[in-house]
Amino acid sequence: MESWLKAALDYLPRWLEFQLRAFERPGVALAICHRQRVVLDLALGHADALRRTPLTTGHRFRIASHSKSFTAAGLLKLREQGRLQLDDAVGRHVGGLHPVLARATLAQLLSHSAGVTRDGPDAGQFQDRRPFLDAATLMQQLAEPPAIEANTRHKYSNHGFALLGQVIEAVTGMRYADWMQREILDAAGLAHTDPDAGPNPRFPLARGHSGQLLLGRRVVVPGDQATNAIAPAGGFVSTAADVARFYAQLMPTAARSVLSVPSRREMQRRHWPVPHSSTPGWYGFGLMLGSYQGWDWFGHTGGLQGFVSRSCAVPGQELSVSVLTNSNDGLSWPWVDGVLQILQAFAEHGAPGATTRDWSGRWWSLFGPTDLVPMRDKVFAVSPAMTTPFIDATELTVQGRDRAVMTQANGYASYGEGARLVRDAAGQVKEVWLGGSCLRPERVVAREMRRRYEG
């Protein structure tokens, strides 16, 4: 493992732990793969916040729309086996559809360009107001005309991917869950992943949670319901490590994969731009596509009542990242951005050197914490409360054992001023001064605040 990656993996848990604490979320699981090997598998917080049950890396989450990536892999696998073609009309495999929908191709369904309704006339299954649709009800709704004309724009559809599950059943003669388990999950070595929720005592399911705003407190949203015919679009359960492994296998350079390289590349091709979005993005076959500060990525997000998640793979760096949360207000999207930014900072600046290594740790003032993050030839002073902590970070250039200068800083910061470490009699750092600001350990600042403001 490269030294910069090892250093990044050392800092990431400290940053994410503070994020969970600062934003008061129940739990988060983070896994990172490098060259198809899990190099970080982390669980923080609680699987059940009301019972204070610790979250472990063995807890599974509802990963919701990540399911579409698995279903897409199943369709591509069937194409490799010569059992279907992506330009097949869906009506060739599944009967009872509206004639217009029957003419839509499998490729259009895979890329969300078939014009299909998103969730049907009543999406109450995503609000726990009704059970998830069975196949008969799904097909009744798909006998209605599509919402818009096919092949005109990207239009996300859970019903469209549910229909692809019906295609898999028609082509294979097997239940969707059984065929996917054998041909995709078992073949990929994903022992902690299932196509839908259900009893599995070896692998406990984390409990989902509501946000706090509506009731002023969180309530448990169990999240253990079967998603029935919607499973191909949103039913899967998994761990962060398994999800990261799966996306790592979809990289074109992956040595082990359930799909051929051409199939993987086809999944990742930018088939449609996502319209009316402030962040440029595209959709492939069962994959969301984007770029973060020059790192192109593919992956997916997911949201099912009580759970929010996001995962992405960065082929250029042979990295895959999965962040799973168990609350409706989970910060999976910004936390993945934060992970990518931290990885980028270490990739650019390298692991700590001999002159920078002592400039480290979390230091507090009345205004909150500052993390000193040493790299090869400079030190960054960052706020762990930021979801992207290296934005506008102050950079220190070390000029002696305990002296440095702030050589890069925002115009409102202390650019050009000195920084210093203060040590105790044993030679351990007890204070950090950045310009005129004194930073000390959390317990020291907390004690001082209690004395000053609580009498």
pLDDT tens for 232-258 read 999 999 999 999 999 999 999 999 999
How confident is the model at residue 200, as a pLDDT? 66
Cα–Cα dist 267/261, whole Å? 10
Flag whether pLDDT at 1 surpasses 90: no
Domain residue extents for the chain? 26-330, 361-453
Residue 65 φ then ψ, to 5°: -70, -5
Flag whether pLDDT at 198 surpasses 90: no
Please state the CATH superfamily assignment of the domain spanning residues 26-330 in this structure.
DD-peptidase/beta-lactamase superfamily (3.40.710.10)
How confident is the model at residue 166, as a pLDDT? 98
Contacts of 292 (CB under 8 A, 6+ apart): 337, 340, 341
How confident is the model at residue 279, as a pLDDT? 86
Distance separating the N- and C-terminal Cα atoms of the chain: 52
For the residues 7-26, what does the mean pLDDT come to?
97
How confident is the model at residue 389, as a pLDDT? 96
Flag whether pLDDT at 142 surpasses 90: yes
User: Is 344 strand, coil or helix?
Assistant: helix
Give the H or E element holding residue 161.
helix 158-172
Mean pLDDT across the chain? 96
Extract the tokens encoding 167. 């295609």
Flag whether pLDDT at 72 surpasses 80: yes
Cα–Cα dist 226/206, whole Å? 15
- Asked whether the CA dihedral 49, 50, 52, 57 is positive or negative, the reply is negative
- Which has the minimum average pLDDT: 113-117, 221-225, 236-240? 221-225
How confident is the model at residue 455, as a pLDDT? 73
Flag whether pLDDT at 127 surpasses 80: yes
> Using one digit for the tens of pLDDT, what is the confidence trace for 370-420?
999 999 999 999 999 999 999 999 999 999 889 999 999 999 999 999 999
**Cross-strand bridge partners of residue 323:** 30, 310
Extract the tokens encoding 288. 């969301």
Cα–Cα dist 206/21, whole Å? 18
Q: What letter does residue 270 receive in the DSSP assignment?
A: -
- pTM, full prediction: 0.96
